[in-house]
Structure 1
Amino acid sequence: MLIDFYVQNFASFNSKQELSMIASTSTKEGYNLENIKSVDAFGIKSVLKSAALFGANASGKSNLANALASFKSIILGSLESISEKTIDSAVPFLLKENAFDQPTEFEVTFLSNENMYRYGISIKEGEIVEEWLYWTKNVRETLLFHREKQTVSFNQRSFPEAKFFVKREGELWNIEKTKPFIPFISVLSQFDGEKSVTVTEWFSKLNVISGLTNSQFKLFTTELFEEDLRFKDWALKVLDSLQINGIEVSEVENKTAFPNGKNKLKDTDLNNALNATQGFLGKNKIKEKRIEIIKKDSKTGRLFTFPLSLESEGTKKLIHLLGPLYEAIKKEEILIIDEFDNKFHTLLCKYFIKLYNRSNSGNSQLILTCHDTNLLDKDLFRRDQIWFVEKNDNHESEIYSLVEYKEHYTRKDSSYSKDYLAGKYGAIPLFSSLSDLGEILNGQG
């Protein structure tokens, strides 16, 4: 489970920003207890199962999701290729005189195998300038390794996996078989280092997807419907509330439109390539899998089958998201959905979130970025689950929690959206009123 994440000098984040998944211990947060997971170890009582980030357009919500995705790419991408510079995805904050005045840094603290790990990396001008791994087995945090460029110090008792990849020169240990832009953790993991594998396996269970398009998870869910009967049974129980009585997966020919006839293009190379492609597709029919839904006529009981493509965008997105949601719960993974509420009605958003919290009894976690202020609801989220992202006067994104606003502990109704839209928490849309927007559109601003 994710305990804490911080990022510095990445995209719209300049100063260090932190997202904590530790549940508040205040007695005033003693509601929605199904939204937290008890830990009672390492000084942590409970961890949040889910969290949501709110903020105006371009406030930096997506950049937080991108930061986690970039961190994962740097670690796991280096496992696939030791020559590719995956750290190039760590683009610094550029709206300042010197973009490299401080390193780009990522750090996660997480629970795994009944231990707590803290792993981080510091990048500057295309090289790793610092990398560190600590763990807590009982109470006290212990250093496993700390890298400074191509030298490293490590715990020879608790982290013996490093000794085969270092060479002593005087008082220093120099890293071997690891390029300046490759994480040491990735190299050790390739050779089955026990604790290094624990770190890379945690990253492999971190999934970041976008709610703007279904393309990332459409095929995954379609294949899950076809191959996993347990998932299908679970999904049909969920979809019953949408009056969907069944799901079938069919295979149809993918017909690609090409210009009729040959030699239609002036460019000879393009024309030859087109003709070759047409010839290949003529001999090898390309098929794709498609979801079909079954609905029942309430009067006659007759079943009707038709393509999912005829349903609303919100229904299609919900069905396609069921695959990643189920997989996250089943395999105890972390699912981050950027632009979660896109195409979703408020009630559909609330249904999805409550479904997750009700279905998740393990160590899975869900993190969402949202615009819909109707989700700022006490019946849906605890205050410690609600986070805001806002840009300051220097165009830097800053993250903060609703828990910081102690004066709102005693709010009597179930919604925080009224105070949010009134600007009491910040992170509101750019235009404070319709009149302000009207003046700008009419050239008066």
Structure 2
Amino acid sequence: MLVDFSVQNFTSFNQMQEFSMVASTSTKERVELDNTYEINQFGIKEILKSAAIFGANGSGKSNVVMAIGALKSLLVRSLDTNSDETTSNIIPFLLKKDFFDFPSEFEVSFLAEGNLYRYGISIENDSIDEEWLYWTKSSRETLLFHRKKQTLEFNNRSFSEAKIFTRKEGDEIVIEKTKTSVPFVSVLAKFDGEKSNIVFNWFKKVNTISGLREFGFRDFTTNLFEKDESFRAWALDILKSFQIDSINIVEFDKEFPINKKNKSIKNEELLDVVSKLEGFLEKNKIKEKRIEVVKKGGNGEMYSIPLSMESEGTQKLIYLLGPIYDVMANDKILIIDEFDNKFHTLLCKFIIDLYNKKSFGSSQIILTCHDTNLLTKELFRRDQIWFVEKNERHESELYSLVEYKEHYARKGNSYSKDYLQGKYGAIPLFKDISELGEKLNG
């Protein structure tokens, strides 16, 4: 379960910015929502189930998602390649003379296996400058290891897994068999280090997807409909509200636009290659699967039609059900960038409300949104609402609605009016369509 995340000197974030999923205890607001998990450990009373990040186009909302994804990639993929690709993908804030006046840094705190962990890493010029891991077993935080370049300090009793990858060199302990671009925790996890594996496996449960393009999770959902009866029953119960009675998975031969009779190809050798490729594809058909929705016609008959004939919003909803179910069933964390793209406000509210009411394990969902109609007490507590805004130096700044104490007593169910009036910052470039028209017409 994510507790908090911080980032500095990465893409549009220069100074350290922190995002927290810890439920606020500083407000007297009573929210009759099932939006938190009770913890009562480690000084944490409750953790939020979900959160939404709002901001103008280009403010840096997607960079929050990129930052979490970059940290996961650094840990999970660093041993998949012999190059320094993972650290070279860490892009610093570029609108300054010295890109590494301070390192790019990421830190995350999370709950796993009944303990609280805090893991962080800082990177400078494609090399790991520092890396650290702490844990809290009861009430006091304890060091597991702290790496400075290729030297290490570690806890002999609680983190003995580090011993086989270190050697004594004078007064220092030096890391062995670990490149300067590879996280130490990833190496230890590869060799079945107990606590390193806990960290590694937690990151594997963090998934980021884009709400702009469904192809990233389309096949995942299609396979769930075909192979997981529990998911199928869960999803069909939801889809009844959308007049969809069932789902069929249809297999077909994938077609390729190759025509060996194409007279525009003059080169005989190229024609021969095209002909052979066509023959190979004819003998080795590539199968694809697609979803068809089943609906009841006016005559009472059931009709199956390709999902592609439905609206883009319906398509996205159906494909999104797979990741949402997976995160709930397996206690994962799902981060959806551009969540409200293609969705009507009521559909957005339906999905958010569905998740908050049906999630009972330790899963979490984090969304980035534009739709100000979602800024309502019916969906979110104030501590679930976050904003991103760029300052005069073009640096993205991340902050919570909880910080605006002067608006705590606002009457009504919506924060959107105050938001559009600029009281929280992070407003869209144009407050309404009339203002946009004025700009376009001069």
Q: TM-score, normalised by structure 1?
A: 0.96
Give structure 1 stretches of 5+ with no counterpart: none
Distance of 1:414 and 1:433 partners within structure 2: 20
Q: Structure 1 residues 435 and 347 mapped into 2: Cα distance closer, same or farther (>3 Å)?
A: closer
Q: Structure 1 residues 437 and 300 mapped into 2: Cα distance closer, same or farther (>3 Å)?
A: closer
Structure 2 residue 233 is the aligned partner of structure 1 residue 237: no
Distance of 1:236 and 1:182 partners within structure 2: 44
Structure 2 residue 369 is the aligned partner of structure 1 residue 370: yes
Q: Give 2:248's aligned residue.
A: 248
Deviations, residues 16-56 of structure 1 (Å, cap 9, x unaligned)? 00100000113523314410000000000000000000000
Q: Please tell me the residue identity of whatever aligns with 1:88.
A: S
Q: Give 1:123's aligned residue.
A: 123
Distance of 2:434 and 2:245 partners within structure 1: 48
Q: Structure 1 residues 250 and 388 mapped into 2: Cα distance closer, same or farther (>3 Å)?
A: same
TM-aligned CA deviation for residue 437 of structure 1 = 4.4
| Aligned 8 A contact 1:132 1:146 in 2 | yes
Q: Structure 1 residues 438 and 235 mapped into 2: Cα distance closer, same or farther (>3 Å)?
A: closer
| Aligned 8 A contact 1:54 1:61 in 2 | yes
Q: Give 1:304's aligned residue.
A: 303
Q: Give 2:359's aligned residue.
A: 360
Q: Please show how residues 26-425 of structure 1 align to structure 2 within 5 Å.
A: 26-261=26-261, 264-265=264-265, 271-297=271-297, 299-425=298-424
TM-aligned CA deviation for residue 309 of structure 1 = 0.8
Distance of 2:273 and 2:55 partners within structure 1: 47
Q: Structure 1 residues 64 and 272 mapped into 2: Cα distance closer, same or farther (>3 Å)?
A: farther
TM-aligned CA deviation for residue 438 of structure 1 = 4.9
TM-aligned CA deviation for residue 81 of structure 1 = 3.1
Q: Please tell me the residue identity of whatever aligns with 2:13.
A: F
Give structure 2 stretches of 5+ with no counterpart: none
Q: Please tell me the residue identity of whatever aligns with 2:183.
A: P
Q: Structure 1 residues 269 and 192 mapped into 2: Cα distance closer, same or farther (>3 Å)?
A: farther
Q: Structure 1 residues 277 and 84 mapped into 2: Cα distance closer, same or farther (>3 Å)?
A: farther
Which region of structure 1 is more displaced relative to structure 2, 135-144 or 30-39? 30-39
Q: TM-score, normalised by structure 2?
A: 0.97
Distance of 2:269 and 2:153 partners within structure 1: 57
Q: Secondary structure at the match of 1:216?
A: helix
Deviations, residues 92-141 of structure 1 (Å, cap 9, x unaligned)? 01111111111011110000011000001100001000000000000010
Identity of aligned residues (%): 60
Which region of structure 1 is more displaced relative to structure 2, 24-33 or 349-358? 24-33
Let me know the Cα RMSD of the aligned residues.
1.6
Q: Please tell me the residue identity of whatever aligns with 2:362.
A: N
Aligned residues: 442
Q: Structure 1 residues 139 and 266 mapped into 2: Cα distance closer, same or farther (>3 Å)?
A: farther
Distance of 2:435 and 2:420 partners within structure 1: 15
Distance of 1:79 and 1:30 partners within structure 2: 47
| Aligned 8 A contact 1:92 1:100 in 2 | yes
Q: Secondary structure at the match of 1:56?
A: coil
Distance of 1:77 and 1:7 partners within structure 2: 20
Question: Structure 1 runs of 4+ off > 4 angstroms?
Answer: 266-273, 432-440
